[in-house]
Amino acid sequence: MSQFQQKVELVCSDRMTEDVVRLTFNAPTIAVHARPGQFVMVQTSPGKDPLLRRPFSIHQVTSEGYLQILFKVLGKGTDLLAQVRAGEQVSLLGPLGNGFTLGLPETACLIGGGMGIAPLLFLATRFLQQSSSDNVAKKMPTVILGARNRTELEPLVDDFQELGIDVLAATDDGSFGYHGLVTDVLKKLNLSPSAGIYCCGPRPMMAAIAHLCQIENRACQVSVETVMACGMGACLGCAVPLKAGGYTHVCSDGPIFEAEKLLWSL
């Protein structure tokens, strides 16, 4: 295993919207070992409250050794993180978890909802690198992204478009792209039977997609969120139920799972 605990410098903090923030760290060691779908545990304050680190998907890494996370301010920890200034040091632990298993780009369909979009940018980048190293014309994955409204979704869609990927967008209020859910967009797509889904978003969205994929007998990888204390398999606090009975641990066995292995009815 190659996991690291490091104090790294925050290079920049970008407010994407009122409550969505993107942080860029200079973290070459973690960045070079990172795979799409993996996460980092971030210390949000040097004090004792909040005590625990917070998990965030690795949003993007660059060849210069930058690592990004993208998050929504929800509570104490994310609020403190949003206030960290460029030049300050933050402790990261990672890369943690298993990461996505990458298939062929042309048969990949990436579906992200809300902050679940975060890991998909890194994934899309890897797909493109993979297809360009294959020395054939770039094969693009299909990407469907959904969020509440235009303000939240548009800047994230732009990131994918910069990579040359056309995004199918959906918003709850219809202010950008399709008016409705990403699952509706998916249903209308007529994906080839061999296409595999890579999905991250709110639980109801992932449950709906898992259900669709089960009917169509389609491969579907999902990125699962739970509360976490350690992020590295030590506390056993991140258990989620398996379809076959018993529990699995999101931080060490996941966070990426084959959707059919999990119990979605809870």
Partner 1 sequence: MEPLIMQTKNPDLQVSIGSLALQNPVMTASGTFGYGREFEDFVNLRRLGAVVVKGISLEPRAGNPPPRIVETACGMLNAIGLENTGVDRFISDKMPYLAALGVPVIVNILGDSVDEYRQIAERLAGVAGIGAIEVNISCPNVKKGGVAFGTDPQMAAAVTAAVKGQCQVPVIVKLSPNVTDVTVVARAVEEAGADAVSLINTLIGMAIDLRSRRPRLANVIGGLSGPAIKPVALRMVYQVARVVRIPVIGIGGIATAEDAMEFMLAGASAVQVGTANFINPGACDDVIDGIAAYVTEQQMGSVRELIGALRVA
Residues in touch with partner 1 (CB under 8 A): 1-5, 43, 48-53, 93, 226-230, 232-241, 246-247, 252
CA distance 245 to 259: 15
Q: Pick one of ligand FMN, ligand FAD, ligand FES, none as the site partner of residue 76 (Cβ within 5 to 8 A by kind).
A: ligand FAD
CB 139 within 8 A of CB 115: no
Contact of residue 74 among ligand FAD, partner 1, ligand FMN, none (CB under 5-8 Å per partner type): ligand FAD
Backbone angles phi, psi at 140, to 5 degrees: -95, 135
Q: Which backbone phi and psi does 252 adopt, to 5 degrees?
A: -105, -35
What's at 188, amino acid-wise?
K
In order, the DSSP letters of 41-57 are EE---SSSSS-S-EEEE
| Separation of alpha carbons 216 and 24, rounded Å | 39
Encode 76-104: b = buried (16+ Cβ within 10 Å), e = exposed.
Answer: ebbebbbebeeeeebebbbbbbbbbebbe
Measure the CA–CA gap between 147 and 206, rounded to whole angstroms.
14
Using CB under 6 A, which of the segments 127-135, 147-155, 208-216, 231-239 binds ligand FES? 231-239
Return the residues of window 112-141 that contact ligand FAD according to CB under 6 A: 115, 118
Bridge-based pairing of strands 20-26 and 66-72 is antiparallel
Among residues 10, 30, 70, 209, which is the contact residue for ligand FAD, using CB under 6 A?
70
Cβ 254 to ligand FES shortest distance, Å: 9
* Shortest separation between residue 132's beta carbon and ligand FAD, angstroms: 26
Choice from 22, 35, 54, 126 touching ligand FAD (CB under 6 A):
54
Residue of 30, 34, 43, 55 interacting with ligand FAD (CB under 6 A): 55
Q: Which is nearer to partner 1, 193 or 246 (CB)?
A: 246
Q: Is 189 in the site for ligand FMN (CB under 6 A)?
A: no
CA trace torsion 213, 217, 219, 221 (10° rounding): 40
Instruction: Please say whether the dihedral angle defined by the alpha carbons of residues 137, 99, 23 and 16, taken in this order, is positive or negative.
Output: positive
Q: Among the candidate windows 106-114, 166-174, 217-225, 246-254, which touches ligand FES by CB under 6 A? A: 246-254
Binding mask 198-237 for ligand FMN (x = CB under 6 A): -------------------------------------x-x
Binding residues for ligand FES, rule: CB under 6 A, are 228-231, 233-238, 249, 251-252
